[in-house]
A and B are shown apart, each in its own frame.
Chain A
Amino acid sequence: MQPNNLTALDFNDIKASIVSYLRTRDEFTDYDFEGSGLSYLIDLLAYNSYYSSFNANMSMNEAFLPSATVRDNIVNIAKLLNYIPHSKVSSAATLNVEIQTNLTNGIYPSSITIKRGPVASGGNFIWNCLADSTVEVNPTTGLATFENLIVKEGTLISFSYVVNTFQTQTYTIPSSDADISTLQVTVKPNESSTTSDIYNRAGNITDVTATSRVYFVNEGEDQRYEVRFGDDSIGRALKDGEVVTFSYLVGDADRANAVQRFNWIGQFQDSALNTYSPALARITTVSNSSGGTEAESVESIKYNAPRYYSAQYRAVTAQDYAVLTKSVYDNAESVVAYGGDTLNPPVYGKVYIAVKTRTGSLLNDATKKQIASDLRKYAMASIDPVIVDPEQLYIYNKIFIQYDTGCGSDTSTIKTQVQDAVTEWATQTAINNFNSTFRSQAFEKAITLASKCVTDVSLQTTILRYIKPQTNQTNSYVVTTGAPFYNSAPSASSDSGVKEPILLSGLFRTADRPGIDQQFEDDGFGNLRMFYNTGTRKVFTNQNAGTVNYDTGTIVFGPVNIIGSGSNLASSGISISDSITGIGTITDPAALPTDLQIPVQFIPANASAIPSATPGTVLNIISPEVSIQPLGTTPPPSIPLNSLTPKVFDQTPTLIDVASATNTGSLNT
């Protein structure tokens, strides 16, 4: 008889298979296979088979991208797809630095320089300039201003290799925490030489000649990157005795994000070779530190490598743009791209790319232009990439829970369990992202399973969007949710009957009534009405403040001139002639506040499934409000007519924190 169960992978199964085989052999009649000496030998055989089968299984798994688990193996497979995982990226901040220069022989120096190296401290980190920066000095005042100086967090490291062509030499960057985007490679002819060539990183070989001074980078073992040079056919080869120097930042990645205050520690040197103490510098923070990220996780490599390969260094389909955007901009958490032809009205010849950053902040114009120009070299002729901010759609849930009072948990424990379950649900469904859909059934199920004490769950679901008006400009603002609005009384007509409003805005002030907070709501028949409250009475100021299309879920607010919203109000620059009606005029437009936003809260027709309105819309789930009642209490209606509360969303609300999937690909995790 042959051994059976050849597919067994478990130690006990293998052992049982060997034992059942030996029992059939005459030589082993009467042998005991449990406590005996023979059992030790069988254990050894089984262990050996187990070890071999594990090894075979593991090595086959590690040979393919979808099943590999060890980072080094995943990176090696990605290497075949020409995909280089991004390293840790140091956080960067933008500063304005001003310095008063001194007179030398009665004249101010013509220029002043900040040297490459550590220049600022802040948030327990050191911040560096990666290149010398020189500005001109004002010859009259002697003031010099470094505008938008970019400083990056970390420690500048320099590491050299002496080239030896008689052996196979690998140029490895010795730290796994190096930020490869800051890597500078220089090569000098010998150790005593004072001049050196700068080598640039080559993306692909199409524009590399035999004499190009370029290097190639790929990730090696244990997240340490390897630098390779040309072979005198594709790129210049290194010669014996030359000295290669790597200079790069080793930083704290995302831990250094959101630093606001900086102290200057860098030296200045002017054109007359005078140096200035760091204490003389006056610095202002233009933008807080951001963009620091950890090295790319194995999940991300597995997701991106095949897509990057399919893009093949050219952007043809919309997905190619999305993939290439991630490779040219490390701070992109997720990217969606769509052709302008899919818009209404269509815009031909453009592809729109919405970028959600890791930090959640919006991209500034300079970064958008940089990404667009980086993408243009991959783009098909005449196709223009346009980087846009993602549109934000917020979903606000009020959760009403009935619980079994006799099951042994108090309300605060249940509340905590429900909040944990909601966070877990958000992580599992990858909500707060592009192309996601809110499904109330899955949401309710997650809450029901949060605690055995929860007996019933009901929801009040509303949608929130923000209008971002331009201060003191008469404009119309369009807001769309991509899905129909709730109809509060389908049989009522505008001639007979009344409908309850299904949308309500937050507080704002208009140019004609700068002295009173107004809101708008719908009349149920397609019109928006502006009003203000006097005690318990609504006073309508405009019955035709805009239109509502209930079927498409679109509102048009305006034309209207907004000069304030929520608590972001003008403290001066206005003159109020009637304090009751708020009527007045604007006396100083420059004193009016900017960055206005008006929350608008809607009741959707279908709260069971709420999709993103457009491909570039991010669905955000606001941290829900949880109320817990004993079993037997009647829950409130699921349609919150007359109980919309947009005023609480004057400030952008707190969202459910969706943990990002991080996996270092270590065998120990």
Chain B
Amino acid sequence: MSRQITSKTAGLSKSFADINMGFTKNPFTGDISNVKNENAIKQSLRNIILTKRTEKLFDPQFGTNIWNTLFEPLDAITADRIEQEITATINQYERRITMTRVEVVPYFRDNCYHIFIEYRIIGSPLTETVSFVLERPS
């Protein structure tokens, strides 16, 4: 019988922690709650992708330009541009993972893109995914 492998059992070479960007309160400690390991990395990925270029102080190249592409035609070409943008940015700014696949799918009915990112955390055999919807702010 196969046993499901989680990051806990896989034994990461290093653990990761970060504050929760929702700034929620930890009910036990009363301190700000934090996120750990794969969740910390997922949060970081989302941060990097959704940060607009020039938004981060003194690091104008940090982030992506995908917000601008949301005003382009919703088609495969734009989707490809988003994909390339995400790949290049993640490779540069998130050194803790190795990206294996990025998929950007245009959804014409909802006027948005679905983004799937598949990656492996360096030092761990697990493949993680993060997915979110990218749509034009109304």
Interface residues of A (CB under 8 A from B): 11-12, 28-32, 34-38, 40-41, 43-44, 46-47
Contacts and interface: CB of A to CB of B under 8 A. Distances in A.
B18 A37 contact: yes
Given A29-B17, A30-B17, A35 B57 contact: no
16 contacts: A11-B58, A12-B58, A30-B14, A30-B36, A31-B17, A32-B17, A32-B18, A32-B44, A34-B95, A35-B47, A35-B93, A35-B96, A36-B19, A37-B18, A37-B47, A40-B47
A332 B57 CA distance: 49
A35 B94 contact: yes
A36 B40 contact: yes
Given A32-B40, A32-B96, A38 B18 contact: yes
A67 to B, nearest CB: 25
B56 A31 contact: no
B96 A47 contact: no
A35 B56 CA distance: 11
Contacts of A12: 58
Chain A residues touching B, majority SS: helix
Given A11-B57, A38-B18, 6 more contacts: A31-B16, A31-B17, A32-B96, A34-B95, A35-B48, A38-B19
Q: 4 nearest interchain CB pairs?
A: A36-B18, A30-B17, A35-B44, A37-B21
Could you say which of B19, B48, B94, B96 has the most chain A C-beta atoms within 10 Å of its C-beta?
Answer: B19
**Interface size grouping (class) on chain B:** 20 to 34
Nearest to B56: A43
Contacts, number: 52
A34 B93 CA distance: 8
B7 interface: no
B58 A36 contact: no
A28 B44 CA distance: 16
A29 B34 CA distance: 12
Contacts of A40: 47, 56
Nearest to A29: B17
B47 A32 contact: no
Contacts of A35: 44, 47-48, 93-94, 96
A39 B43 CA distance: 12
Contacts of A32: 16-18, 40, 44, 96
B20 interface: yes
Contacts of A47: 57-58
Contact of A36 (B43, B56, B57, B95): B43
B69 interface: no
A32 B47 CA distance: 13
Contact of B19 (A11, A34, A37): A37
Interface string B94-122: 11100000000000000000000000000
A41 B96 contact: no
Nearest to B36: A30
Contacts of B61: none
B127 interface: no
Contacts of A44: 57
Nearest to A41: B19
A666 B43 CA distance: 45
B15 interface: yes
A169 to B, nearest CB: 44
Nearest to A44: B57
A166 to B, nearest CB: 48
A33 to B, nearest CB: 10
Contacts of A38: 18-19
Interface-central residue, B21, B58, B95, by most chain A CB under 10 Å: B58
A43 B56 CA distance: 8
B124 to A, nearest CB: 15
A41 B40 CA distance: 15
B97 to A, nearest CB: 10
A36 B18 CA distance: 6
B14 A37 contact: no
Nearest to A30: B17
A37 B21 CA distance: 6
A36 B15 contact: no
A346 B19 CA distance: 85
Contacts of B18: 31-32, 36-38
B18 to A, nearest CB: 4
Interface in B58-103: 58, 93-96
Task: Name which of A35, A40, A41, A46 has the most chain B CB atoms within 10 A of its CB.
Answer: A35
A36 B14 contact: no
Interface centre among B21, B43, B57 (most CB of A within 10 A): B57
B16 A30 contact: yes
B58 A37 contact: no
Contacts of B14: 30
Interface in B16-59: 16-21, 36, 40, 43-44, 47-48, 56-58
A32 B93 CA distance: 12
A36 B44 CA distance: 5
A45 to B, nearest CB: 11
Nearest to B58: A11
A35 B58 CA distance: 14
A405 to B, nearest CB: 44
Contacts of B94: 35
A11 B59 CA distance: 10
Contacts of A29: 17
Nearest to B45: A35
